[in-house]
Structure 1
């Protein structure tokens, strides 16, 4: 019998979109399937909308759990706790999995002997759509992720159950911005083998009024915070001094500067906010800090942005 796959759907007040999400998973060709919906304290009619589907069928179980509002990380962790599958995946309740995603991903992971896999996604908004293009995994996929080379939303990933049980893998509770990046760095760090398969796995909704994609200067601080937490974790878990230094240098001289500078670039029309943010995180965003460490094309682009911002903002 094929290995069971659990798909975890965290949701909060998404009665308008969750059925589209659920149907995209039910309609996957792969079986057996275990769909786990974690309702994070919704105050709308999410449960009523879902009720007709909870009986499941066709070798597909659909289980609904309600918790008092505790955030998306707690909801995902709840889903991991009750998951029954040998493989675990996630799907946000305003996104959809594209046809064949689960079947092809499981097949490829088995074929490659991998415990982590990821693919492309299609971002969709009212103004259009585009694909992301993550790179194939290297021999150090955690480091590669810190260079944003394998960056892809949670919906595109799949993990073996052993990765969670052997390493107590979970999301940071109380954090709703960047928590997925911290989780993915740890998953890639522990993975025996991570693989990329060239397939568009999911459609990601962007631009919702209540979505996390809205611009905010506050997110600069959240970006810095989460990558400082990642840095501390890698510093204490790196298996050698060489890898420890490589992780720390990458985060200090590339990962965090890129997060802040790109956010300032996106919001540069608000000159006051841009100046304040650059000043607040000047230890990371100064030209000389970014210049440290190995140069690459993306770092050169970042240096150009720093110069242009200095001219524009002063």
Structure 2
């Protein structure tokens, strides 16, 4: 992908829902970037707080560089898709409304894309959790799509810069109505569709983990995990022409990724013994496909699976 010598317009999509308190910081972190050819598109997904007033006040200072789009509550996927459709930039980036980016993020990513002749770039970041800071991604990433499927790297949504024509040509969008894993599906499609992907190994934003917003355990997440990864597999099956590579993806998805999601959720719910047994039996066909396709991660998975089965065995004995 060749870039023009002129600066590309970058559109940063910020979906939000009742986050008026943190939205100012997020928007300001973009509109004060060292890179000037950009716009911010705030997509308000049916907020009931004063989000609209906050954006209106920001628009007084930043003018047409800040767009505001309101929609009835349809979820984050619909909000991101709406933002993409409203974008006028050649490149698309995302920002969660409770996060912020460093002042040179966009300048550095655009420069790196141009230097490398790439059409997709993701950067490193810092994870802020319980007042502690750690690097989000570690080590060089040579095979982004495979490593993503293997769970060896998980770039956060804010990390990406994508040529908008990649999304248009391949008809890639976030799956609407899906409340789990829609970002994984989207970026897997992006990585496969891209001619060249580059990793900028420099933290360019903070990803702030909101402990109070973490999802509580529920058994229906097993179904959601299986659904999204089987959908990802069907898409790859229909698009990947290299049969050897396709088989590698299949081995990892069905031999590690789906079993790992099931096993770790079963382990998390192990104290609800009857339910755990029932779900383990329900998803037995997927668990039987567990293999050693993912190295040490597969070994660790096998250990947890063994511990779970021992836990269920002990529970049976105590029931007698």
What TM-score, normalized to structure 1? 0.90
Kept in 2: contact 1:118–1:156 (CA 8 A): yes
Aligned to 1:312: 311
> Distance in 2 between the 1:216 and 1:128 partners?
28
Match of 1:226 among 225, 228, 233: 228
Aligned to 1:20: 25
After superposition, the C-alpha distances for 1:120-173 in whole angstroms (9 at most, x for unaligned) are: 23222346343322554435x322211012311111111112211211111001
Kept in 1: contact 2:44–2:71 (CA 8 A): yes
1:76-155 paired onto structure 2 within 5 Å: 76-126=80-130, 128-139=132-143, 141-155=144-158
Aligned to 1:165: 168
> Distance in 1 between the 2:275 and 2:121 partners?
38
Specify the structure having the higher radius of gyration (Cα). Answer: 2
Q: Structure 2: where are the runs of 5+ without partners? A: 1-5, 314-320
Q: CA deviation at 1:56?
A: 5.0
> Distance in 2 between the 1:276 and 1:122 partners?
39
After superposition, the C-alpha distances for 1:61-113 in whole angstroms (9 at most, x for unaligned) are: 00000011111111111111111111110011111112321111111111111
Kept in 2: contact 1:55–1:62 (CA 8 A): no
C-alpha spacing 1:30/1:295, structure 2 compared with 1 (3 Å): closer
Q: Structure 1: which 4+ aligned runs deviate by more than 6 Å?
A: none
> Distance in 2 between the 1:173 and 1:233 partners?
16
Kept in 2: contact 1:135–1:149 (CA 8 A): no
Residue range with higher mean Cα deviation, 258-267 or 176-185: 258-267
Aligned to 1:49: 54
C-alpha spacing 1:56/1:265, structure 2 compared with 1 (3 Å): farther
Kept in 1: contact 2:145–2:192 (CA 8 A): yes
The total of aligned residue pairs comes to 308
Paired residue secondary structure (2:241): coil
> Distance in 1 between the 2:148 and 2:79 partners?
24
Kept in 2: contact 1:206–1:213 (CA 8 A): no
Paired residue secondary structure (1:152): coil
Q: CA deviation at 1:212?
A: 5.0
Aligned to 1:279: 281
Q: Is 2:184 the counterpart of 1:181? A: yes
Q: CA deviation at 1:297?
A: 1.2
C-alpha spacing 1:43/1:295, structure 2 compared with 1 (3 Å): closer
Aligned to 1:207: 210
C-alpha spacing 1:56/1:113, structure 2 compared with 1 (3 Å): farther
Kept in 2: contact 1:207–1:213 (CA 8 A): no
Q: CA deviation at 1:197?
A: 1.1
Kept in 1: contact 2:191–2:197 (CA 8 A): yes
Paired residue secondary structure (2:234): helix
Paired residue secondary structure (1:202): strand
> Distance in 1 between the 2:216 and 2:206 partners?
18
Residue range with higher mean Cα deviation, 122-131 or 75-84: 122-131
* Cα-Cα RMSD: 2.1
Q: CA deviation at 1:273?
A: 4.6
What TM-score, normalized to structure 2? 0.89
